[in-house]
């Protein structure tokens, strides 16, 4: 398989969304709607990525895995197993709800799925912040009382962020994304979110959005205090390493290249700044098989494929690896 797999984005209307995916990433969005999420790579019953371009154009990710699972995922990949990672762009024009994803120990009991996720901050407004974890020493009893008193902001850990920062948010860690952030979220394949507090907001229908307080209180890790983000750096290195995936930041100067060998593992490549030209190994980056990947692109590099990526300008890539157990 000598093709990178690109997919059609699936845009999601959200009350807290905006139109930044147009201005920042050059996307064409559905007219008029506040778009909060672009699901870039997803394999779920309710949402399927569709291949865009190439020999597999129009095929769903699920059908691609069914027909070519060894080429895409490697010889050990089990038939019928869904793709394990979900990649999203988030345009947080307004603050998201305070929420939590259930850890594996309680997810099945609550009828949900665990979700560990990593946020890479692509753009921010000058005063943009994140909320991740509890303030040191906050107890469950104090937190429950704060929900009732509408003083929950006094219990959570808030910090400023800048473009290039990132943070790993494990299942069970209470969190919210503040207004003014454009984020690439790389996460477990899950869509279980429990809202514990929504700042008094109403949804697009004018009604208060559903809260999941009992489920949230059951899911929150009451020992997760004041995690620190990984700050932006001009060098390559690992920015997230957990049981579910590993993410490397790759910084390339103009003309520099990165080579991904085939037969090792599938990978996800995300262009978070700059642009690269990609081509299968041995064809040259300016061959007829080459293609340009601009900022915002997310592609699946199949197990069987070997590719060279050459930076056209100063470029930052994220490589997501080690998601095949």
For residue 207, name the pLDDT band (cuts at 50, 70, 90).
confident
- pLDDT higher than threshold 50 for residue 289: no
- In tens, the pLDDT along 302-320 reads 999 999 999 999 999 999 9
Cβ distance 106 to 219 under 8 Å?
yes
C-alpha dihedral, 284 to 286 to 291 to 296, nearest 10°: 100
Tokens of 152: 């929950």
Within-domain flag for 232: no
Regarding whether 129 and 58 lie in a shared domain, the answer is yes
Q: Which of 192, 219, 246 is the last residue of a domain?
A: 219
Regarding whether 212 and 95 lie in a shared domain, the answer is yes
- pLDDT higher than threshold 90 for residue 231: yes
- In tens, the pLDDT along 58-111 reads 999 999 999 999 999 999 999 999 999 999 999 999 999 999 999 999 999 999
Regarding whether 126 and 42 lie in a shared domain, the answer is yes
69 a catalytic residue: no
The stretch 212-234 carries a mean pLDDT of 97
Q: How far is CA 188 from CA 103, 115, 301, in A?
A: 12, 5, 18
Regarding whether 101 and 242 lie in a shared domain, the answer is no
Q: How far is CA 161 from CA 98, 264, 316, in A?
A: 18, 35, 18
Regarding whether 18 and 158 lie in a shared domain, the answer is yes
Within-domain flag for 127: yes
Cβ distance 227 to 132 under 8 Å?
yes
Within-domain flag for 254: yes
Regarding whether 203 and 259 lie in a shared domain, the answer is no
Regarding whether 241 and 121 lie in a shared domain, the answer is no
Q: Which of 186, 219, 252 is the last residue of a domain?
A: 219
The stretch 156-183 carries a mean pLDDT of 98
Half-sphere exposure of 319 (CA within 13 A, CB side): 20
Q: Give the number of domains in the chain.
A: 2
Regarding whether 174 and 84 lie in a shared domain, the answer is yes
Regarding whether 273 and 194 lie in a shared domain, the answer is no
Within-domain flag for 227: no
pTM above 0.85, yes or no: yes
Short-list 46, 40, 43, CA closest to 21: 40
For residue 288, name the pLDDT band (cuts at 50, 70, 90).
very low
**Residues with Cβ < 8 Å from 134, sequence gap 6 or more?**
143, 155, 156, 157, 174, 220, 222, 224, 225, 226
C-alpha dihedral, 15 to 36 to 43 to 112, nearest 10°: -40
The pLDDT of residue 247 is 98
Of 93, 195, 248, 249, which is the active-site residue?
195
Distance (Å, rounded) from C-alpha 44 to C-alpha 26? 26
Q: Please, which residues bridge with residue 195 across strands?
A: 99
Q: Which of 190, 219, 248 is the last residue of a domain?
A: 219
The pLDDT of residue 33 is 87
The stretch 138-163 carries a mean pLDDT of 97
Query: What end-to-end distance do the CA atoms of the chain give, in Å?
Result: 21
- In tens, the pLDDT along 15-72 reads 999 999 999 999 999 998 899 999 999 999 999 999 999 999 999 999 999 999 999 9
Regarding whether 161 and 31 lie in a shared domain, the answer is yes
Phi, psi at 316, each rounded to 5°: -120, 125
The pLDDT of residue 195 is 97
103 is in which domain, residue-wise? 5-219
The pLDDT of residue 283 is 62
The stretch 156-161 carries a mean pLDDT of 98
Mean pLDDT of the chain: 95
- In tens, the pLDDT along 232-272 reads 999 999 999 999 999 999 999 999 999 999 999 999 999 99
Within-domain flag for 224: no
Regarding whether 88 and 12 lie in a shared domain, the answer is yes
Within-domain flag for 180: yes
The pLDDT of residue 245 is 98
Within-domain flag for 231: no
**Residues with Cβ < 8 Å from 257, sequence gap 6 or more?**
285, 308, 309, 310, 311
Strand, helix or coil for residue 173:
coil
Within-domain flag for 228: no
Query: In CATH, what number is assigned to the domain containing residue 304?
Result: 2.60.120.10
Regarding whether 100 and 130 lie in a shared domain, the answer is yes
């Amino acid at each position: 398989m000598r093709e990178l797999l690109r997919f059609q984005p699936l845009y999601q209307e959200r009350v807290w969304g905006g139109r930044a995916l147009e201005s920042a990433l050059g996307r064409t969005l559905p007219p008029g709607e506040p778009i909060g999420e672009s699901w870039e790579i997803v394999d779920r019953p309710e949402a399927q990525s569709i291949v865009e371009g190439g020999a597999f154009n129009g095929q769903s990710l699920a059908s691609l895995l069914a027909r070519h699972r060894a080429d895409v995922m490697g010889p050990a990949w089990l038939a019928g197993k869904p793709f394990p990672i979900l990649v999203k762009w988030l345009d947080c024009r307004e603050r998201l709800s305070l929420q939590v994803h259930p850890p594996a120990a309680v997810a099945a009991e609550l009828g949900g799925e665990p979700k560990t996720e990593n946020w890479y901050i692509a753009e921010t407004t000058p005063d943009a912040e994140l909320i991740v974890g509890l303030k040191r020493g906050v107890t469950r009893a104090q937190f429950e009382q704060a929900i009732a008193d509408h003083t929950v902001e006094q219990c959570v850990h808030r910090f400023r962020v800048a473009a290039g920062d990132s943070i790993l948010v494990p299942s069970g860690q209470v969190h919210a994304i503040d207004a003014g952030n454009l984020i690439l979220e790389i996460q477990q394949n899950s869509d279980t979110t429990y809202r514990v507090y929504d700042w008094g907001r109403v949804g697009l229908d004018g009604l208060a959005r559903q809260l999941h307080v009992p489920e949230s209180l059951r899911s929150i890790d009451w020992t997760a205090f004041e995690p620190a983000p990984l700050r932006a750096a001009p060098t390559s290195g690992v920015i997230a390493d957990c049981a579910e995936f590993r993410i490397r930041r790759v910084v390339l100067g103009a003309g520099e290249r990165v080579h991904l060998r085939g037969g090792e593992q599938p990978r996800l490549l995300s262009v978070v700044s700059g642009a690269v030209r990609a081509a299968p190994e041995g064809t040259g980056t300016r061959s007829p098989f080459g293609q340009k990947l601009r900022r915002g692109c997310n592609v699946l590099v199949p197990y069987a494929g070997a590719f060279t990526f050459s930076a056209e300008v100063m470029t930052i890539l994220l490589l997501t690896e080690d998601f095949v157990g």
